[in-house]
Chains A and B, each alone.
Chain A
Amino acid sequence: MRNLWQDMRYGMRTLWKNPGFTLVAVFALALGIGANTTIFSAINSLLLHPFSFRDADRIMAIWESNPQAGFKRGSVATANFLDMRSQNTVFESIAAFTGRSFNLTEGDKPERIEGAGVSPQFFSALGVEAAAGRTFLPEEEQAGRDAVAVISDSLWQRRFGRDQGIVGRVVPINNRSFTIVGVMPVDFDFPRGGVEMWSPFVFDNDDMTDRASHYLRVIARLNPQVTMEQAQSDINNLMRRLAEQYPETNAGRGVLIETLREANTGGPRPYLLIALGAVGFVLLIACANVANLLLLRAAARQKEIAIRAALGASRWQLMRQMLTESVLLALLGGSLGLLLSVWAIDSIRAGMPPNFARLISGWKNLGIDWNVFGFTLLISLATGIIFGLVPALLASKTNLNEALKEGGRSSTEGRSRNRTRSLLVIMEVALSLVLLVGAGLMVRSFLRMMDTNPGFEASNVLTMEIALPRAKYSEDQQRRSFFRQLSQRIEALPGVTAAGLVSQIPLGFDDSDTYFSVEGRPKPEPGNRPLADFRIISADYFGAMRIPLRTGRTFTERDAPDAPPVAIISQAMARGVFPNEEPLGKRLYVGDGEQAREIVGVVGDIRHEPFSDDVTKQTEPTLYVPHAQIPRGSMVVVIRSGASDPTQMTAAVQNEVQAVDKDQPIYNIRTMPQIIAESMSPQRVSAFLFAGFALIALVLASVGIYAVVSYSVAQRTHEIGIRMALGAQASDIFRLVVGQGMKLILIGITLGMIAAFAVTRLMASILYGVSATDFVTFAAISLLLSVVALVACYIPARQATKVDPMVALRYE
Chain B
Amino acid sequence: MIKLQNLEKAYESGAGKTFVLRRISMDIREGEFVSIMGPSGSGKSTLLSILGMLDGTWTGEYFFEETAVHKANPKQRAALHKQYMGFVFQSYHLLDNLTVQENLDIPLSYRDINKRERESIVADILDRFQIVGKKDLYPNQLSGGQQQLVAVARAVIASPKLVLADEPTGNLHSSQGKEIMELFKRLNNEGTTIIQVTHSEQNAAYGNRVVQLADGWIANQS
Could you list which residues of chain A lie within 8 angstroms of chain B, going by C-beta atoms? 2-3, 6, 10, 13-14, 17, 303-304, 307-308, 310-314, 317, 400-401, 404-406
Contacts and interface: CB of A to CB of B under 8 A. Distances in A.
Given A10-B98, A304-B96, 15 more contacts: A2-B115, A13-B97, A13-B98, A17-B97, A308-B95, A311-B106, A311-B110, A312-B82, A312-B107, A314-B78, A400-B49, A406-B45, A406-B89, A406-B91, A406-B167
B72 interface: no
A748 B176 CA distance: 57
27 contacts: A6-B109, A13-B98, A14-B97, A304-B95, A307-B95, A310-B52, A310-B54, A310-B89, A311-B107, A311-B110, A312-B78, A312-B82, A312-B107, A312-B111, A312-B158, A313-B110, A314-B78, A314-B110, A400-B54, A400-B55, A401-B54, A404-B93, A406-B45, A406-B90, A406-B91, A406-B167, A406-B170
Given A406-B167, A406-B170, A312 B115 contact: no
A2 B110 CA distance: 12
Interface string B98-116: 1000100011011100110
B166 A406 contact: yes
A317 B110 contact: yes
Contacts of B134: none
Contact of B46 (A3, A307, A401): A401
Nearest to A404: B89
| Interface SS majority for chain B | loop
A411 to B, nearest CB: 15
A401 B55 contact: yes
B81 interface: yes
B54 A311 contact: no
A772 B51 CA distance: 65
B22 interface: no
Nearest to B158: A312
Nearest to A311: B107
Contacts of B3: none
Contacts of A404: 49, 54, 89, 93
Contacts of A304: 95-96
A307 B95 CA distance: 8
Contacts of B93: 303, 307, 310, 404
A13 to B, nearest CB: 5
Contact of B114 (A2, A13, A314): A2
A622 B115 CA distance: 81
Contacts of B158: 312
Contacts of A308: 95, 106, 110
Contacts of A312: 78, 81-82, 107, 110-111, 158
Nearest to B90: A406
Nearest to B166: A406
B85 to A, nearest CB: 9
Contacts of A303: 93
B155 to A, nearest CB: 9
Q: Which 10 A-B pairs have CB atoms at the shortest separation, nearest pair first?
A: A312-B82, A312-B110, A400-B54, A401-B55, A311-B107, A307-B93, A313-B110, A401-B49, A406-B90, A310-B87
A9 to B, nearest CB: 9
Contacts, number: 62
A91 B127 CA distance: 80
Q: Main SS of the interface on chain A? A: helix
A401 B97 CA distance: 22
Contacts of B95: 304, 307-308
A432 to B, nearest CB: 34
Q: Which of B93, B98, B166, B170 has the most CB of A within 10 A?
A: B93
Contacts of B106: 308, 311, 313
A311 B115 contact: no
Nearest to B110: A312
Contacts of A401: 46, 49, 54-55
A235 to B, nearest CB: 65
B95 to A, nearest CB: 6
Nearest to B49: A401
A363 to B, nearest CB: 49
A308 B46 CA distance: 19
A446 B154 CA distance: 66
Contacts of A406: 45, 89-91, 166-167, 170
Contacts of A13: 97-98
A304 B49 CA distance: 17
A17 B97 CA distance: 8
A405 B49 CA distance: 10
A317 B110 CA distance: 7
A692 to B, nearest CB: 37
A170 to B, nearest CB: 75
B86 to A, nearest CB: 8
Q: Which of A17, A303, A313, A317 has the most CB of B within 10 A?
A: A313
A395 to B, nearest CB: 15
Contacts of B87: 310-311
Interface in B26-83: 45-46, 49, 52, 54-55, 78, 81-82
A406 B91 CA distance: 7
Nearest to A18: B97
A304 B45 CA distance: 19
Contacts of A6: 109
A257 to B, nearest CB: 60
A402 to B, nearest CB: 9
- Most central of A310, A312, A406 by chain B CB within 10 Å: A312
Contact of B97 (A10, A314, A400): A10
A2 B87 CA distance: 26
Contacts of A14: 97
A304 B81 CA distance: 18
B138 to A, nearest CB: 10
Contacts of B97: 10, 13-14, 17
Contacts of B102: 10
A10 B95 CA distance: 11
A400 B89 CA distance: 13
Contacts of B170: 406
A20 to B, nearest CB: 15
A313 B78 CA distance: 9
Nearest to B78: A314
Contacts of B91: 406
Contacts of A17: 97
Contacts of B46: 401
A3, A311, A313, A401: which has the most chain B beta carbons within 10 Å?
A311
Contacts of B114: 2
A304 B96 CA distance: 9
Contacts of A10: 97-98, 102
Contacts of B55: 400-401
B99 to A, nearest CB: 10
A404 B90 CA distance: 10
B97 to A, nearest CB: 5
Contacts of B115: 2
A404 B52 CA distance: 12
A119 to B, nearest CB: 68
A177 B96 CA distance: 84
